[in-house]
């Protein structure tokens, strides 16, 4: 599929809870998203009909929607012999075109169709992504790729459908991109500076703020 520079929704994806085996136990997950047709209602809790099993890590008002870009799909599909992934493969609610992680900043306010959203943090993958990809090692590669996508809080609800355009209503004042923000949780020479920059952003999700503050306190001891 040939993409343009337009920013728009390629797919809306949601899931019911599914129980899978992890080591010696059964766990519930909502990562098995599948595309849906037609317009879908969105409110402060996310897409209508979508389950958020682990709301501490993958849901709640600060992470109501998870977005992943077509450009990242192309990156993962570039390996020789790798077939195209179906939309929703990475557990995202919104598959977008024209929204690479390095061009989206924490605190950005985006209008998507009739819905107004704000970027709150990058996605931090957990073991469930490894289960979905049938490759436990994928989680670390995903994190270090800098192509993890981002979470959105919903400032004003409405309806979304495939083809809806995105426009930036207000750029994040920090200028900290989603991709650079990941350096807050990866050991590197810029980690303390990125932690301080991220913590100064009012729009940062509450859960990530707590985590980053603990990391910064530990590094500064």
pLDDT in tens, 55-68: 666 678 999 999 99
Instruction: Give the strand pairing for 94-97 and 8-14.
Output: antiparallel
Query: Regarding predicted confidence, which is higher, 79 or 37?
Result: 37
Q: Is the pLDDT at 44 greater than 70, yes or no?
A: yes
Over range 25-33, report the average pLDDT.
Answer: 92
How deeply is 114 buried, as exposed, middle or buried, from its count of CB atoms within 10 A (0-12, 13-18, 19+)?
middle
- The predicted pLDDT at position 53 comes to 77
Residue 221 pLDDT level (bands cut at 50, 70, 90): confident
- The predicted pLDDT at position 59 comes to 78
Residue 2 pLDDT level (bands cut at 50, 70, 90): very low
- The predicted pLDDT at position 22 comes to 86
Radius of gyration from C-alpha coordinates of the chain: 17
Q: Is the pLDDT at 212 greater than 50, yes or no?
A: yes
Query: Pick from 109, 112, 106, 121: which is nearest to 94 by CA?
Result: 112
Per-residue pLDDT tens over the stretch 178-192: 999 999 999 999 999
Q: Which of 50-59, 100-109, 122-131 has the lowest mean pLDDT?
A: 50-59
Fold annotation for 8-172: M1 Pyruvate Kinase; Domain 3 (2.40.33)
Residue 81 pLDDT level (bands cut at 50, 70, 90): confident
Delimit the domains of the chain by residue range: 8-172
- The predicted pLDDT at position 111 comes to 98
């Amino acid at each position: 599929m040939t993409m343009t520079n337009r920013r728009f929704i390629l797919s809306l994806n949601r899931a019911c809870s599914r129980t899978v085996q992890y080591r010696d136990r059964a766990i519930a997950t909502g990562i098995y998203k599948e595309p849906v047709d037609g317009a879908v209602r969105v409110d402060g809790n996310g897409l209508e009909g979508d389950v958020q099993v682990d709301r501490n890590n993958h849901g709640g008002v600060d992470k109501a929607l998870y977005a992943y870009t077509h450009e990242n799909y192309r990156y993962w599909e570039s390996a020789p012999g790798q077939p195209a992934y179906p939309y929703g493969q990475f557990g995202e609610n919104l598959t977008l075109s024209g929204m690479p992680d390095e061009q989206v900043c924490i605190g950005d306010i985006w209008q998507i169709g009739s819905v107004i959203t704000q970027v709150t943090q990058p996605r931090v993958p957990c073991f469930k992504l490894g289960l979905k990809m049938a490759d436990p090692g994928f989680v670390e590669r995903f994190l270090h790729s800098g192509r993890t996508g981002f979470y959105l809080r919903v400032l004003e609800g409405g309806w979304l459908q495939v083809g809806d355009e995105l426009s930036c209503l207000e750029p994040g004042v920090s200028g900290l991109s989603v991709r650079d923000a990941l350096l807050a949780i990866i050991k590197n020479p810029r980690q303390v500076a990125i932690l301080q920059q991220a913590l100064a952003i009012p729009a940062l999700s509450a859960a990530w703020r707590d985590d980053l503050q603990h990391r910064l306190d530990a590094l500064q001891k």
